[in-house]
Chain A
Amino acid sequence: GNSVTQMEGPVTLSEEAFLTINCTYTATGYPSLFWYVQYPGEGLQLLLKATKADDKGSNKGFEATYRKETTSFHLEKGSVQVSDSAVYFCALLSGGSNYKLTFGKGTLLTVNP
């Protein structure tokens, strides 16, 4: 079946530091890949997505590239802010899996001023 593995947290950074959160996946077919963000007390929000190999998703300074050869979709940001503190989830969506999102376990990011 499908699965997503993302780096364990928590991750603590200082403001303006570089962020990488690793995500790798196992899936049948050609899944779409997503990063969702969950701010404290809120639901999940779509951060970015990529639907095919070599696509780069980007939003709010975050980027991730769909790498089929390494089955990866790592999240990066060049300079984090305190307001980026949240839980980040990598997820995949494949038509062969009852159309359900398969999530990683989430990575808690804390950015200190």
Chain B
Amino acid sequence: EAQVTQNPRYLITVTGKKLTVTCSQNMNHEYMSWYRQDPGLGLRQIYYSMNVEVTDKGDVPEGYKVSRKEKRNFPLILESPSPNQTSLYFCASSQEPLQPQHFGDGTRLSIL
């Protein structure tokens, strides 16, 4: 089954404790992206990756890092999480940048 898998689905943690949210897709897609969803703001892009070893900032990259060492994986790293990063996060992928994106089921992060 074609899918984008995120882990964990839920996480409660404390300020300053580094965390990583994993994202993996099994569709051999070139393009991957991370979004955060906040009430009243819709979804905003954090980072995106056009291909392996090619990543770039989206609209709200501050406080986040990403890497793309393999085509299937695109982890989101919060080096020193803060409460304003409490949000619902989605990973997405597509075969090409201009094709519709497939979304994971989301990761709800709470930073206390």
Contacts and interface: CB of A to CB of B under 8 A. Distances in A.
A43 B58 contact: no
A45 B97 contact: no
Contacts, number: 54
SS class, residues of chain B in contact with chain A: strand
Interface stretch (B14-22, B63-71, B73-81, B102-110): B102-110
Contact of B42 (A42, A99, A104): A104
Nearest to A46: B100
Nearest to B40: A105
A28 B87 CA distance: 30
Given A43-B90, A43-B106, A44-B90, A101 B101 contact: yes
Interface string A70-113: 00000000000000000001000101001111011110000000
Contacts of A34: 100
27 contacts: A32-B98, A34-B100, A36-B103, A41-B105, A42-B106, A43-B103, A43-B104, A45-B103, A46-B101, A89-B42, A89-B43, A93-B97, A98-B48, A98-B56, A99-B31, A99-B48, A99-B50, A99-B97, A100-B45, A100-B48, A101-B33, A101-B43, A101-B92, A103-B43, A104-B42, A105-B41, A106-B42
